[in-house]
A and B are shown apart, each in its own frame.
Chain A
Amino acid sequence: MSLLEVENLRTYFFTPAGIVQAVDGVSFEVDAGESLGIVGESGAGKSVAVKSIMGLIRDPGRIVEGSVRFDGRELTELSEAELRREIRGNEISIVFQDAMSALNPVFTVGSQLEEVIVENTDRSPSAARERAIELLDDVGIPNPDRRIDEYPHQYSGGMQQRAMIAMALACDPRLIIADEPTTALDVTIQAGILELFDEIQETHDTSIVYVTHDLGVVREVCDRVSVMYLGRVVESAPYEELYRYPKHPYTQSLLNSVVTPDEILDEINPIGGTMPSAVSPPSGCRFRTRCPEAVEECVHVTPRARQVGDSHTAACLLYDESNSHEEPTLREITNQTND
């Protein structure tokens, strides 16, 4: 059994403009000590998927179907109070992209860190301070005994993100979810944070779910990767396997669009067009409107994840011989939860 099992998760947002099918039938697993990258362009539903795990979806959003099992326990059935008491912080913690807005500007970094420790462990306030200094030291903040009493604005962007990671580590969670934690940082600062994630995984044996749009970052941090497109996982594989043998046409074109400083390409071949709206996504395969391989069948059949290699799956009719399954309609899904 994996530590985290997400199965057929659907998270919709019920807006006046229509139902946004942000996450629509997503499944993935994370083993203990493993790091999974979730990669995709903006609007793919990566953030919504990981926030659903933590029960952080707010109105008008709702998990309409599917299950999230953590260590065998069904998280979608827990109440807000149970999630807060038993899961968030001490079992699963999350690091967001924008550290400055996640830290409270009127309290010192130390007091915020100590609060988390006192809340979630049975340490005394003075022991919590000691632990806080230790954590700041662990995440590479210089002179932690002095800097613990500083306010967030006195920290640089990279330091703020390190402080957030210290907070996420405070209660020794078994899973850390990182939602684009380095996107706003300079590459030189990002490099240090990526090394820190590697270190955390090694020394604490923590599982990591790392959300990013950058395949280079996935390569640095993750063992496996799931590629998302418009609310669905289109391909999953160990990172190297995915890079060398991409199967899904979307993954292939994503890899073709990447520019790197290490090679000069005469011409990049990006995917044409833009991602359609998640309010009225294309029927059948959602990538078909931009897919160079699309055939008539793609309009009618929703491809399911098929084994295409060693622990490598892709959801594309190219690899699906028995394509005679039917997806529930939107009406069926939303009615189900309203009952």
Chain B
Amino acid sequence: MGVEVIMSAGSQQTGDTADAAGQPLLEVSGLKKHFPVNSGLFASITFDRDADGFPITRDDSSVKAVDGVDFALEAGKTLGVVGESGCGKSTLARTILGLEEPTAGEIRFDGRPKDEIPEAEFRKRSQMVFQDPQSSLNGRRRVGHIIEDPLEGAGWEKARRRERALELLEQVGLKREYYNRYPHEFSGGQRQRINLARALSISPDLIVCDEPVSGLDVSIQAQILNLMTDLQAEYGLTYLVISHDLSVVRYIADRVAVMYLGEFVEVAPTDRLFTHQYHPYARALLSAVPNPDPDMPGVSSQLSGAVPSASNPPRGCRFHTRCPSFIIPDGFTAEAYDGYDRLRSDVSERSLDPEVNDVSSALETYVPELASVAGDRRAALESAVSEALDGEWDRAERTLESEQSPCQAEAPSLETAGDPAHEAACHLSFETPSDADSGSTEDGRR
């Protein structure tokens, strides 16, 4: 651990109190969580007659639920993480809290690596609120006792625990008399209040909320969101809010990260993200949210196809298979590039279309629009086809690779977009955000 870290963490901090604003409470870098597709030695072994040498192969593929996430969350602020189901947002939350062991990367809490913080201290300073208030409260226990759980773990004595629980019931908008009731006597919104009371009981610095209001009616959602904001103002809480609902995130978060297939694709201050989206995925996600206001644009479904598998994510930019702004290399038309793509996928599988027997028939089969392709591109296609026909698959693959779109060639990393606090990971230039004239898409993009 570096000296500067000790200074920043130790100089102004005593005991459990939260850090001064401006200092990151939570820092995550290069965080990965992969789940093996097959667990255990025997489940992962398959008999493979075609393998070179010993006819047994080991399947060590894994679902890359979280695959390289970085962020810093300031004390007293709220980061919202949005994405579709399966993007890895819940796994991210669970990994940060230590409910999953990270595969790689570092988590720093209050200036110190999380590994060096004693378990008991971390548990005391971070709490989680789960999505389903029905199943996250033990139905056989009184709510007062449920709220006291974290205090009991921290060694508080009984009378003090009870006093604190009664106090908390009031703070989350319930009544002290509810102390002896059971969870089933409460509605969904009230149960989520109980969850919040339990999370707050130990005065944590960080609360991770996984879909805190989904499944609740709009009026109840609004009540809970208001309560969360009030509690934050009162106790200086830091929130990490995971949600599929952009409206919720817009209301509660200071900063928003949009997640797709295990990665953050765009991160920005909330106001900016909802007015200037640079990443096509963020744009598509936002345009799919129905708005009751008839003066606002209606929904449009811009995304085709399904989210690809997280065990075998697309090469290059993970979003390229569904991207409405996919960059087509100069010299190709969209149709011709589709043909190129089909050829490339067949070459990588080492089998051309059975009807192909020479270079011209191959080109005719794959790229009927050959005439529209620029000269040097056409020459590359021709030589790749003849290499493939000669059985020189590797060479053909390399020849084709040099013609591919940047979206397939390279994974874009998060880069500053328009504002120092705004980052997006996309090969498109960041000069034309979504709120600018949308008709001005440049040539060569479909």
Contacts and interface: CB of A to CB of B under 8 A. Distances in A.
Interface of A: 41-42, 156, 158, 186-188, 190-192, 194-195, 213-220, 239-240, 243-244, 253-255, 257-262, 264-265, 267-272, 274
B235 interface: no
A156 B305 CA distance: 10
A188 B219 contact: no
Given A220-B290, A260-B289, 16 more contacts: A41-B218, A186-B84, A187-B244, A187-B290, A190-B290, A191-B301, A218-B292, A219-B294, A244-B294, A259-B250, A260-B291, A262-B296, A264-B274, A268-B222, A269-B222, A270-B218
A260 B219 CA distance: 13
**Which residue of B220, B221, B225, B287 has the most chain A CB atoms within 10 A of its CB atom?**
B220
B284 interface: yes
Given A187-B289, A274-B190, A253 B219 contact: yes
B380 interface: no
B271 interface: yes
Contacts of A269: 222
B223 A187 contact: no
Contacts of A262: 274, 291, 293, 296
B63 interface: no
5 contacts: A187-B84, A254-B218, A260-B289, A261-B249, A264-B251
A48 B271 CA distance: 41
A146 to B, nearest CB: 16
Contact of A270 (B223, B284, B299): B223
Across the A-B interface, give the 6 residue pairs with the lowest CB-CB distance, nearest first.
Answer: A216-B290, A270-B222, A191-B301, A215-B292, A41-B217, A191-B288
| Interface-centre pick from A217, A219, A243 (highest chain B CB count, 10 A) | A219
B285 interface: yes
Interface in B169-184: none
Interface in B269-295: 270-271, 274, 284-294
A35 to B, nearest CB: 14
Contacts of B414: none
Contact of B84 (A188, A195, A219, A265): A188
Given A188-B285, A261-B250, A219 B292 contact: yes
Contact of A243 (B247, B287, B292, B306): B292
Given A259-B248, A261-B246, A42 B292 contact: no
B189 interface: yes
Contacts of A267: 226
Given A215-B292, A219-B298, A261 B219 contact: no
A255 B286 CA distance: 20
B402 interface: no
A210 B217 CA distance: 18
Given A261-B246, A268-B222, A190 B306 contact: no
B138 interface: no
Contact of B288 (A41, A188, A254, A271): A188
A216 B291 contact: yes
Interface string B284-324: 11111111111010111101001000000000000000000
A176 B218 CA distance: 26
Nearest to B250: A261
Contacts of B291: 216, 219, 260-262
Contact of A186 (B190, B218, B244): B244
B299 A191 contact: yes
Instruction: Kindly name the residue among B187, B274, B292 whose own CB sees the greatest number of chain A CB atoms within 10 A.
Output: B292
**Central interface residue in A191, A218, A265, A274, by most chain B CB within 10 Å:** A191
B212 to A, nearest CB: 13
A217 B291 CA distance: 8
A25 to B, nearest CB: 22
B292 A255 contact: yes
Contacts of A215: 292
Contacts of A258: 218, 247, 292
Contact of A260 (B221, B288, B292): B292
A275 B187 CA distance: 10
Interface residues of B, number: 42
A260 B187 CA distance: 24
Contacts of A213: 217-218
B221 A259 contact: yes
A264 B85 contact: no
Contacts of A261: 246-247, 249-250, 274, 286, 289, 291
Point out which of A158, A186, A192, A240 has the most chain B C-beta atoms below 10 A from its C-beta.
A186
A254 B219 contact: yes
A187 B258 CA distance: 14
Interface in B25-78: none
A239 B291 CA distance: 13
A219 B301 CA distance: 16
B290 A217 contact: yes
Nearest to B223: A270
Given A186-B84, A194-B299, A259-B250, A270 B226 contact: yes
Contacts of B303: 188
A286 to B, nearest CB: 15
Contact of B251 (A41, A42, A217, A265): A265
Given A191-B300, A274-B189, A257 B219 contact: yes
Nearest to B189: A274
A156, A195, A213, A261 — most chain B CB neighbours (10 Å): A261
Given A188-B301, A192-B301, A257 B292 contact: no
A254 B299 CA distance: 21
Nearest to B298: A220
A224 B287 CA distance: 23
A26 to B, nearest CB: 19
B284 to A, nearest CB: 6
A264 B286 CA distance: 14
B282 to A, nearest CB: 11
A328 to B, nearest CB: 30
B219 A271 contact: yes
A190 B291 CA distance: 13
Contacts of B299: 187, 190-191, 194-195, 216, 220
Contacts of B248: 259
Nearest to B294: A240
Contacts of A220: 290, 298-299
Contacts of A217: 290
A257 B222 contact: yes
Contacts of A271: 219
Given A188-B301, A259-B221, A270-B226, A219 B271 contact: no
